[in-house]
Amino acid sequence: DAGVIQSPRHEVTEMGQEVTLRCKPISGHNSLFWYRQTMMRGLELLIYFNNNVPIDDSGMPEDRFSAKMPNASFSTLKIQPSEPRDSAVYFCASSLAGDTQYFGPGTRLTVL
């Protein structure tokens, strides 16, 4: 398997622009997670999907962030409008039935 696939790997944008991050989980996995990593806050969960349904979005910072999972093989995390404090590495991870989580390579987002 190719593992968890994320795109883009790097994104540089200007404040106020919309940013869309994409994730393809490992085939057959039914849980998908979006995490954010910053120096100040470390690794923190943003949202968790199970069987394409958002189960816990308590980590989503504010209404500017939204996530969707239209099918079992694709998820998006959108930030609109983006702000400099959103600069971070965003990881997507997937697992089967809450077992081992496998992380994608991450998207490094820089908001100027």
Window 34-93: residues binding another protein (CB under 8 A):
42-45, 48, 50, 55-56, 59, 89, 91
Rounded to whole angstroms, the Cα distance separating 65 from 108 reads: 16
Buried b (16+ CB within 10 A) or exposed e, 58-67: eebeeeebeb
Interacting residue with another protein among 5, 66, 76, 102 (CB under 8 A): 102
Greatest distance between any 2 Cα atoms in the chain:
39
Does 1 contact another protein by CB under 8 A? Answer: no
Does 105 contact another protein by CB under 8 A? Answer: yes
Pair 77, 11: CB distance under 8 Å: no
CA of 12: how far to CAs of 90, 104, 112, in Å? Answer: 13, 19, 7
Nearer CB in complex with another protein: 17/27: 27
CB of 13 to another protein, least distance (A): 19
Binding site residues, another protein, CB under 8 A: 31, 33, 42-45, 48, 50, 55-56, 59, 89, 91, 98-103, 105-106, 108
